[in-house]
Structure 1
């Protein structure tokens, strides 16, 4: 099975799908599944734009609406998690996961699905310690505060994933697990992104709950996005000697490293 992984989609489905179809022709291969690590921006209509936490000048319909309306059909089965730039009113309707459009599945705020013989888990949103222990109290229409807090990870959702007993093959998070930079070339990372250096040195870059899930679930593969750069790491789990291959990917823009192929 060939799986493509994408970083931040930012609603640019047309370009991502075209890029993958070009890759298929170039390499005479077939992609079986696309995974997206958040900021998917499943915007159906102008009303959804009001729930998208981006500056008003950047509120753009992009191309998801064509797949929602049926004008286009996703050429590959697509599974995505939420990030911090989403049509939160729509994703809240799919809190437990569900079909956001034909052939496009939202994994929910926290969920696990099986695709073929692959078990895929995911945690939507980003970590914010002030809201972590709170419930999901936000309801549309969102105000200036709740349009941000709606996508903050909650302890309740992490706790559900911590109960998973069967092995997870691939895990998706928008945030990076905190401490993951210790397991990769962090010096190159801060050369490319010098404003990360303070957080790396203080071990504040990333999500503590994601790190807890990484330690508990120990998936062979973990993919993230959010920080708009490519970063690889290899995590050795001392308890059982297993290894997690971690990869963060960039956003969908020309010249950016936003796609990766893996084979199962």
Structure 2
């Protein structure tokens, strides 16, 4: 395909913005609060001196946030199993430094260009799903059957709980359903390049796996053991409304050296 043909396809395609808006006091998992602080410290009015500097002025702000808030993707250093990262190294002071990780940091995350698959469980069962419930493998497989879609190696798999619509209501958003361990295990075997959901933590934060004694077992299975990143707080309402279950997904991780995660700008494109 020539460049002009590719540009024509892209221009005529529908684009879906999958990033939630970032704002102070946006929803955040308790260990990583505050989600965002923003300070406008340089003001136009303070610098306006037209006789000396002409008409132009500048304003600047300071952003303070965790690397685990907003629409973001987890780096592989974010999770470990028995103090071992999925990149094959033990966690030591040389790997885990006060200034970030020397292996598996966010700067190593590749640009995402892959087939995206939406598994809209909420639309098939209950929208939104029951509060603090867990999505079973049976529900996922039934949803795929209803949609007429499949999950293949190399996909980015996005699971919709229906709670993305409550992004501006933290109390409600925090009660979102989560993805069960059995679903994470099944996906880990399938081999996606990444998975994601419209909730805070992919998993159900209140659940503790009786087998491994771990909370967030999906993080253990997917990131620590298989090296599959998790994308959290994904905006999926427009895709669900239009019943778009397959699309080209392009995602741009920011290259923060040594960070445990990074903001992601994911876009779904449908020709």
Pairwise same-fold verdict (TM > 0.5): no
Larger Rg over CA atoms: 2
TM-score (norm 2): 0.28
TM-score (norm 1): 0.28
Where relative contact order (Cα < 8 A, 6+ residues apart) is larger, the structure is: 2
